Chains A and B, each alone.
Chain A
Amino acid sequence: MTQSNPKIEVKELTILFGATPALNGVSFDVRHQEILAVIGPANSGKSSLLLALNRMLSRIHEASVTGSILLDGRDIGNIEDVEDLRRRVGMVYAMPIALPMTIRENVLFGIRLKRTIRKNEGDTIVESTLRSSFLWDEVKDRLDTSALNLSGGQQQRLCLARTLAVGPEVILYDEPCSGLDPISTAKVEEAMKELKTAHTQILVTNNTKQAARVGDRTAFLLMGELVEIDDTDKIFTFPSDPRTEQYVTGKFG
């Protein structure tokens, strides 16, 4: 919390899909070890923003990105090793996507891409990451069974564990709880709060209450524009922009 430089600086970021703008000259900083909640109605550019942050957007042919994103002061557009960037900036998607393997193999998938690991080390990583994602107690007896037999909420926490296993500095969440039951949602949120000690997290959510629960700061996007970014308390009590107030009080969206 003491570092003065922001973890991520987004500068004049514009994203076009063909001729349609998804994000329009957006600038903001993300601080070290905070949870930044990003809220806004559908098509406001939230998910595109996340995809730009780990350069998954570059896989979409018609997408074009201008402006810059600095990670620890370095422009991610200039990073040669995009796989390394994606290990540093992990992503948890809206749809829980366990890979078609065992639970253990899911967790260790990312590490094994780079190197082989010994059983002991693997066991340690599996246990610690599954504990961090509040899944350990539910699956510790069946680590070597198919991950596809887990419920949606469990799979989502497995996805978080899998992301944690590669040791990311930043974790992006794209509406991680949109398909989950309240109990799984609570566990994911609890995990996020615990992860603050070592990770910078950006949470895109359609659920303003979730933003209020876990976000240190909250950014409000509307039609590709950043309306407001401020401490979560302020956004939800005294927002400076009337549109923010209307959105968070449920007048539209």
Chain B
Amino acid sequence: MDKLVSRLLLLAACSSAAILALIALFIFKEGVPIMARSGLGAFLLGRDWSPLQGQFGILPFIIGSLCITLGALLIGVPLGVACAVYLAEFSSPRWVNILKPAIELLAGIPSVVYGFLGVMWLAPLIRIRLGGPGLSILAASCVLAIMTLPTIVSISIDALQAVPKSYKQGSLALGATEWQTVWRVLFPAARAGILAGVILGMGRAIGETMAVIMISGNSTAIPHSALDSVRTLTANIAIEMGYATGEHRQALFATGVILFFFIMILNGAALRFARRKF
């Protein structure tokens, strides 16, 4: 009986890995030929995306994805980690019971609602106060930052609470203030967990499509400031897939391949950093 169950579980585990492999295989099969034909350099570093003329350069989208993700992290990580530190270390349990579920509820809001709010409220605000088209890197970063908060906050709280209470006692007994204890002991000890939260948040930011399409403006030009419109890799696929055929369709799959590598590289780098011992 035990053997049967363990076989079944093995099958389940293998099948999810197999599905991933099949998806990767399919994307690569569709996407790699066009990259080979136009040259990897021309595809990655080309500034011109004109599918009708056969120009497939996705540099603007890579820059767009990077800028928006980076912006979202710049806003979301300090906010999220600060929030987690407060909830895990300083607030009374009553507040944690109110605030933590509230923050986690943010994850339940569909991304189209975030996008809608961004378009109706944030973009005009940016357009009027700061100039530019409003639908911009800044607007998308702000919205994505909020969307990554639940992930970053709840995982960081868990990481901080998993730090043995004895570390805190030991630090305080040596004359450290609460804040010094958080900064010098709890953060380093919880670093791997907090980074895991940031990685997952980053994954969400890079992969997010709907909200980004709505508020980033979708310009195919390379942006020059945070107030410019951009298009991301994900948005590029979603916007054009409806009418793409032939090489154009393959180029969208190739965009997917790049996105795939992107997430692999970022995750790999962040995981290595997280595992590094003090």
How extensive is the interface on chain B, given as a class?
10 to 19
How extensive is the interface on chain A, given as a class?
20 to 34
Tell whether, in the assembled complex, residue A166 and residue B175 are in contact, meaning their CB atoms are under 8 Å apart.
Answer: yes
Tell whether, in the assembled complex, residue B169 and residue A87 are in contact, meaning their CB atoms are under 8 Å apart.
Answer: no
Determine whether A79 belongs to the interface, using a CB cutoff of 8 Å to chain B: no
Number of A-B contacts (CB under 8 A): 63
Tell whether, in the assembled complex, residue A110 and residue B174 are in contact, meaning their CB atoms are under 8 Å apart.
Answer: yes
Determine whether A90 belongs to the interface, using a CB cutoff of 8 Å to chain B: yes
Q: Say which one of A30-38, A97-105, A237-245 lies at the interface with B.
A: A97-105
- Chain A hits for B176, CB < 8 A: 83, 109-110, 113
* Closest beta carbon of chain B to A170's beta carbon, Å: 12
Q: Given A83-B176, A99-B185 in contact, is the A93-B277 Cβ separation under 8 Å? A: no
Q: Closest A residue to B177 by CB, please name it.
A: A83
- For residues 72 through 127 of chain A, which have their beta carbon under 8 Å from a beta carbon of chain B? 83-84, 86-87, 90-91, 93, 95, 97, 99-102, 109-110, 113-114
B186-223 to A contact mask, C-beta < 8 Å, 1/0: 00110000000000000000000000000000000000
Residue picked from B164, B173, B176, B278, most chain A C-beta under 10 Å = B173
- Chain B hits for A109, CB < 8 A: 171, 174, 176, 184
Tell whether, in the assembled complex, residue B173 and residue A56 are in contact, meaning their CB atoms are under 8 Å apart.
Answer: yes
B3-36 to A contact mask, C-beta < 8 Å, 1/0: 0000000000000000000000000000000000
Tell whether, in the assembled complex, residue B171 and residue A99 are in contact, meaning their CB atoms are under 8 Å apart.
Answer: yes
- Chain B hits for A110, CB < 8 A: 174-176
Q: How far is the CA of A180 from the CA of B25 in the complex (A)?
A: 57
Determine whether A217 belongs to the interface, using a CB cutoff of 8 Å to chain B: no
Partner of A113, one of B166, B175, B188, B278: B175
Determine whether A159 belongs to the interface, using a CB cutoff of 8 Å to chain B: yes
Tell whether, in the assembled complex, residue B167 and residue A91 are in contact, meaning their CB atoms are under 8 Å apart.
Answer: no
Tell whether, in the assembled complex, residue B170 and residue A159 are in contact, meaning their CB atoms are under 8 Å apart.
Answer: yes
Q: Given A100-B188, A102-B278, A113-B180 in contact, is the A90-B173 Cβ separation under 8 Å? A: yes
Tell whether, in the assembled complex, residue A87 and residue B278 are in contact, meaning their CB atoms are under 8 Å apart.
Answer: no
Main secondary structure of the interface of B (DSSP, over half): helix
Determine whether A54 belongs to the interface, using a CB cutoff of 8 Å to chain B: yes
Tell whether, in the assembled complex, residue B185 and residue A91 are in contact, meaning their CB atoms are under 8 Å apart.
Answer: no
Determine whether B172 belongs to the interface, using a CB cutoff of 8 Å to chain A: yes
Tell whether, in the assembled complex, residue B184 and residue A59 are in contact, meaning their CB atoms are under 8 Å apart.
Answer: no
A8-52 to B contact mask, C-beta < 8 Å, 1/0: 000000000000000000000000000000000000000000000
* Closest beta carbon of chain B to A122's beta carbon, Å: 16
Tell whether, in the assembled complex, residue B175 and residue A162 are in contact, meaning their CB atoms are under 8 Å apart.
Answer: no
* Closest beta carbon of chain B to A81's beta carbon, Å: 9
Tell whether, in the assembled complex, residue B174 and residue A97 are in contact, meaning their CB atoms are under 8 Å apart.
Answer: no
Q: Closest B residue to A105 by CB, please name it.
A: B278
* Closest beta carbon of chain A to B195's beta carbon, Å: 15
Determine whether A207 belongs to the interface, using a CB cutoff of 8 Å to chain B: no
Of the A-B pairs whose beta carbons lie under 8 Å apart in the complex, a sample of 12, sorted by A's number, is: A56-B172, A56-B173, A97-B167, A99-B170, A99-B171, A99-B185, A100-B188, A109-B171, A109-B184, A113-B180, A146-B277, A163-B174
Interface residues of A (CB under 8 A from B): 54, 56, 59, 83-84, 86-87, 90-91, 93, 95, 97, 99-102, 109-110, 113-114, 146, 159, 162-163, 166
